[in-house]
Amino acid sequence: MMETKIKSSQETLQRVSSISEMKKVSQTLRKQNLIIGFVPTMGCLHEGHLNLVKRSLENCDRTVVSIFVNPAQFGPNEDLDTYPRQLEIDIAKLEAIGVDILFHPTSEEMYPENYKTYVQVNDLTEHLCGKSRPGFFKGVSTVVLKLFNIVQPHNAYFGEKDWQQLAVIETLVKDLNLDVVINRVPIAREADGLAMSSRNRYLSPQERQAALSLSHSLKKARDKIRQGTTSAKEISHLIRQYLLEEKGAEIDYISICDPENFREKEQICDRTLIALAVKIGSSRLIDNCIIEDF
């Protein structure tokens, strides 16, 4: 935590859409020895995003938020065209909490004609979401590296709901010697426990209720483990049974694994990640929890 927060002199949110302009803005801030915080998003902002932004505002001199629906991380049959977009509403939310800069490039700006370069983090991306969403993490790694190079932040903020994605980004930063500190922020949940997600808005009232099965099943798993059950197979079976009680729930994966390398465990006897991906209606939802208090 910085002792003195240098407030922005701007009265309104500065909007930047070109890469060259964003670079100039960041270079100017760095020359002034101001600490730049950065929150990359795909927009449709909810309180989970805003928690990340507030963390940056608390700890950095200037905060940049990007809104860019990254086509490189969507597969052929995924929801790129229908992914929720509400730019003006997002801008109002960012202005309300005092964000300094919005970087909102177009796809053509980020991926011009004849674009050919992509970044791949190996091993970590072969598990969990990487199995069912081929190419997803290549798209994530590529756009995050591009955004880091453009925005030039000192600190970047990511939520732990996307645990695997966060691990991939941390590895990217370490392996490529990037000068940015990755800050982890706990999962933001609705009052009833549902993990916040932009895709939650797809849910009908009945599906919204069914979606609670993810967080509820994780709680049941934690309780069972605290009662002494250490078999990963037994805990996975418990979660599966609970999820399938909801009509229309389609399980992508239930993983009980090492939280750093995502290799599956047979016994839960040290720090463990339980991660879920479940399709409810048209929405693919993820959630997770860490088991470490034995």
Three-class DSSP labels, the chain? CCCCCCCCCCCCCEEECCHHHHHHHHHHHHHCCCCEEEEEECCCCCHHHHHHHHHHHHHCCEEEEEECCCHHHCCCCCCCCCCCCCHHHHHHHHHHHCCCEEECCCHHHHCCCCCCCCCCCCCHHHCCHHHHCCCHHHHHHHHHHHHHHHHCCCEEEEEHHHHHHHHHHHHHHHHCCCCCEEEEECCCECCCCCECCHHHHHCCHHHHHHHHHHHHHHHHHHHHHHCCCCEHHHHHHHHHHHHHCCCCEEEEEEEEECCCCCCECCECCCCEEEEEEEEECCEEEEEEEEECCC
Judge whether 127 counts as a catalytic residue. no
Cβ-contact 189, 195 below 8 angstroms: yes
Active-site residue among 49, 104, 127, 216?
A: 49
Q: How far apart are CA 272 and CA 288, in angstroms?
A: 10
CA pair distance 206, 214, nearest whole angstrom:
14
- For residue 93 the two structure tokens come to 């939310």
The answer to whether the CB of 41 falls within 8 A of the CB of 156 is no
Q: What is the dihedral of CA 218, 220, 221, 223, to 10 degrees?
A: 120
Give the residue numbers annotated as catalytic, written as ranges: 49
